[in-house]
Structure 1
């Protein structure tokens, strides 16, 4: 007989709510062909599979000091901190960094571009000629000015106020024309056709004007002939012809005259016509000397103004109203006379002094003693002769004298010397300046290399200039100099 099973406690009773377990519910319907999962026992808990990694929240720990970390790894406690150990630890950390910075700084200083060199003057920057201040024998009226080109002003007299200058204005006419139409000495230059106006104005000589009355409309004048006509017989009609030929009109040419005067620093000069006949064309002796200093640098014009006379195309010979060229070998420049202006003369002459040739430029304006033009010539001759006699040479430096040094801007100074004797031309009481003009000096150069110029005088192109050269080799600054530079 089959034994009767013992009843399980609680069997047949509904389970209490606390004893209920979750029940597996499939997410997808199971078809019959799939293998059915084994249903868990009623009293077991179903395991829900984990989807994705387990998520936790954990803060990173701060890094431990190197010695603590080493102690933890070796299971050796770190030594107790002391001031000496702390110092040693800091030295181990910072010493490599400091060494790296020092090396980087040294490399940067070594490859950094060198500063530009400079030329410095150590000799005296001026020289004064012995004697009291020079006083030239000027006229008792009018005004005057005398310069030695490239050296300075010799002497002056009278108030330098603008006054009428007459035909001295033709100096600017010639200067402006030659700026646009360059002419070499001995050349004829371009041809200029005489117009009807110039022919008509040629007859103005009957009323007292200076003209070239032999020209006819259609005639041809070379530029050299036209310039000779205005600078020697002082032909007003040719001056106005040149203005029209150069600028298209006399008014346009006058604008060019005033522009040129401004460039030359002639601040007290105003031109209103190319001939100077108008009383409104005014200037000063000082301003005219500035113009004369520019004119003496034009050889073709000097060749014209230094002539004692000129023969025009008709064969008539005109004496130069300026008597100084044939009386004392002057090189020009231009006379001018009207009843308002009186007698005026802008003049120039060369003088060889101590192996140097200098040019004296002077002007005398406002001479009203009759006859006015002769008075202007006589006064100018007297003062020019005295100026030439007053000139004297002075030995300032000898060849090989140290006059300065090349400064490499890092503490290095290489001496420089003059390459020949330095002689200045001057007069009693004159103080001349000595200045340096440096070339583009390299950082290395051999002894004897020219590195600049010593100028004695006012610094213009006519001043005395002597090359200066290195006394010894110029070398680059050393590594220590490069390393220690700050600026």
Structure 2
């Protein structure tokens, strides 16, 4: 009788294992970011959201829009541009490796603005625009309006200002548009860039360690941080051959946004066969 009872108990446990495993796969990850959204890039379907419509500062995620405005101007990327004192950050006095008086191609400035969030490069590109930096910012807001980013507003090309605001959902509209630009995809996902034209050679590296993970097939990315915005991340990755966009805003520390992205992708792989 005891053996029969043990056998029946074993059968019961065995029958529950698949259900438990399935439940674990469906369990939504505990994302640390204040706001987040995950969207299937092919269908536009939202797969995960958290405070996705809450307006927040977005820090250097701004530079994806900056890159679009630069490229939409159709000005030559092989034109040299000199960094001036007007490109120094006087709002937060953020550090820059790019010396004043550096002479670089506009393509190089765009590259390190996207890949390494070089603020001085973004400032220089915005200054070298018809109508100067004010004209550039107006173009940013026009582009945002065209993309139906109705809860977004921009006052500078870098994201240093806390008045550059958006929502996780609005940013999906920005990314879907930016993803159509091969230059933005290429520069934002490059691993490193050797820069000449300042006091000496400078090696810039990507601020996002996830681009080095071959299995992620990262198609576009951007990181960002200010005290007001917290740690932010946009990344387009591949899940079972489908491009998926992850937006994270307001993570609490320097690794949390990357861990959130890892947890979300792991959950997607498990729960969306």
Q: TM range, normalised to the smaller chain?
A: 0.7 to 0.9
Greater helix content: 2
Measure how far apart 1:271 and its partner are. 0.5
Q: Does 1:302 align with 2:182?
A: no
Q: Does 1:263 align with 2:146?
A: yes
**2:134 alignment counterpart:** 251
Q: Does 1:358 align with 2:246?
A: no
Q: Does 1:197 align with 2:85?
A: yes
**1:373 alignment counterpart:** 254
- Map 1:54-453; keep pairs closer than 5 Å: 136-151=28-43, 152-158=45-51, 160-181=53-74, 189-197=77-85, 201=88, 209-216=94-101, 219=103, 221-313=104-196, 314-327=200-213, 328-351=216-239, 353=240, 357-368=241-252, 372-392=253-273
**Number of paired residues?**
245
Q: CA separation of 1:348/1:197 partners in 2, compared to 1, >3 Å: closer, same or farther?
A: same
- Aligned partners of 1:172 and 1:163: how far apart in 2? 16
Q: Give the alignment's Cα RMSD to 1 decimal.
A: 2.6
- Alignment check: 8 A CA contact 2:113 2:119 kept: yes
Measure how far apart 1:284 and its partner are. 0.8
Give the alignment's TM-score, normalised by structure 2.
Answer: 0.80
- Aligned partners of 1:210 and 1:286: how far apart in 2? 30
Q: Deviations over 1:263-304 (max 9, x none)?
A: 111111110111110111111111112111112221121111
- Aligned partners of 2:75 and 2:242: how far apart in 1? 25
Measure how far apart 1:373 and its partner are. 2.8
Unaligned runs of at least 5 residues, structure 2: 1-21
Structure possessing the higher radius of gyration over alpha carbons: 1
- Alignment check: 8 A CA contact 2:232 2:248 kept: yes
Give the alignment's TM-score, normalised by structure 1.
Answer: 0.47
